[in-house]
């Protein structure tokens, strides 16, 4: 049974999410602020966290940073703040999804389910490697960018750059399909793992962050107006 942590200072919202989550078969624990969430994660490895942004003691964004410093737990950010800046900042700190209030509890359950499955699949695809003696097939090098597919590290002009899991997945998908135009829907389905319920501008927001971290190689990712993106080496 998957265990989720619901973090919000509004008791009615916590109760609503908990009720729907229990119906879906999840084990649910709750916290009323970011500080409680951080402390809870020190002792428990949750399968997913639903985190509000504006809370007393420690806000949601700060809590995510503290949690990710000790545990790799996927986070769905829940907030009344739905501007592009807020979403970009959320993705920058490493959240997996961003849901704005008011929200559909059924839609949130679907997102939780997909995030948990995707995180489990990623962990299965990247097990701890022991006894590895060769690097054949480990690295992808194109246009000044190198990806270490086992270590999930990215190097730009031989310098390591820190990408979030989403940014890494997008870059890997683009490089594997270099020279091919990928639509926003294709990127959503590949990286997010489902038909995204919201606007496809989430792809543009993530792409903006990714390009910013690629420095001199940012132009390797080309925007195809009205369609999507393409990696050119």
Nearest alpha-carbon partner for 96 in 165, 23, 25, 32: 165
Q: What is the 3-state secondary structure (H, E, C) of 175-206?
A: HHCCCCCEEHHHHHHHHHCCCCCCCCHHHHHH
Cβ neighbors of 186 (< 8 A, separation 6 or more) are: 228
- Structure confidence at residue 126 (pLDDT): 54
- Give the tens place of pLDDT for each residue, 43-63: 899 999 999 998 888 889 999
Number of neighbouring beta carbons within 10 Å of residue 52: 25
Residue 226: HSE in the Cβ half-sphere, 13 Å Cα cutoff? 0
- Give the tens place of pLDDT for each residue, 175-200: 999 899 999 888 888 887 655 555 56
- Structure confidence at residue 118 (pLDDT): 79
Look over the chain and give the mean of its residue pLDDT values, rounded to a whole number: 85
Structural contact between residues 88 and 167, judged by C-beta atoms closer than 8 angstroms: no
Is residue 105 in a domain?
A: yes
Range of the domain at 224: 139-231
- For the record, the structure tokens of 102 come out as 């008011």
Q: Domain tally for the chain?
A: 2
Residues 40 and 95 in one domain: yes
Residues 179 and 89 in one domain: no
Residue 64 sits in a domain whose CATH number is 3.40.50.2300
Residues 10 and 112 in one domain: yes
> Over 80: is that where the pLDDT of 230 sits?
yes
């Amino acid at each position: 049974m998957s265990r989720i942590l619901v973090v919000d200072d509004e008791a009615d919202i916590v109760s609503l999410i908990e009720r729907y989550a229990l119906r879906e078969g999840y084990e649910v624990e709750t916290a009323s602020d970011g500080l409680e969430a951080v402390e809870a994660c020190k002792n428990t490895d949750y399968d997913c966290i639903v985190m509000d942004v504006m809370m007393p003691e420690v806000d949601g964004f700060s809590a995510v940073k503290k949690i990710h410093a000790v545990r790799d737990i996927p986070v769905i950010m829940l907030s009344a703040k739905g501007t592009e800046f807020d979403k970009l900042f959320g993705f920058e700190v490493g959240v997996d999804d961003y849901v704005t209030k008011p929200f559909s509890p059924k839609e949130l359950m679907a997102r939780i389910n997909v995030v948990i499955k995707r995180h489990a699949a990623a962990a299965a695809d990247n097990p701890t490697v022991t006894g590895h003696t060769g690097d054949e097939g480990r690295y992808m090098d194109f246009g000044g960018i190198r990806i270490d597919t086992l270590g999930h590290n990215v190097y730009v002009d031989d310098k390591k750059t820190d990408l979030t899991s989403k940014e890494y997945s997008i870059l890997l998908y683009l490089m594997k399909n270099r020279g091919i135009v990928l639509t926003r829907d294709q990127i959503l389905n590949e990286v997010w793992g489902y038909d995204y319920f919201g606007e496809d501008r989430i792809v543009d927001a993530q792409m903006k962050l990714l390009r910013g971290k690629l420095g001199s190689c940012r132009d390797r990712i080309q925007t195809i107006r009205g369609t999507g993106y393409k990696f050119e080496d």
